[in-house]
Amino acid sequence: MDNQYIGGEYVAIKALDNNVQIIGLTRGDGTKPHHTESINKNEVLLVQFTENISAMKIRGKAIVLTKYGQLICGDEQ
């Protein structure tokens, strides 16, 4: 395993409701769900893009901090 893997961008997600889902989608020829992590109200998930994941779908009420600013997921902004 190569050590530069650890340098991928990360985002920070705070659930505003129970069962917020962060679905990692696979990098590469096909794009399919790789792993779903769920967090409950007020939990925080910090998550990187990795060798395996080049996209993330977020479902449910959450604050999402990205390098281009903040988005409110699951609700009108």
Nearer to a copy of itself, 19 or 52 (CB): 52
| Residue 66 structure tokens | 């990205």
Check: CB of residue 34 under 8 Å from CB of residue 24: yes
Distance CA 22, CA 34 (A): 11
What character string, x for contact with a copy of itself (CB under 8 A) and - otherwise, covers 39-68? xx-xxxxxxxxxxx-xxxxxx--xxxxxxx
Q: How far is the CB of 20 from a copy of itself (least distance, A)?
A: 10
Q: Is 19 in the site for a copy of itself (CB under 8 A)?
A: no
Check: CB of residue 60 under 8 Å from CB of residue 74: yes
Which of 17, 18, 19, 28 touches a copy of itself by CB under 8 A?
28
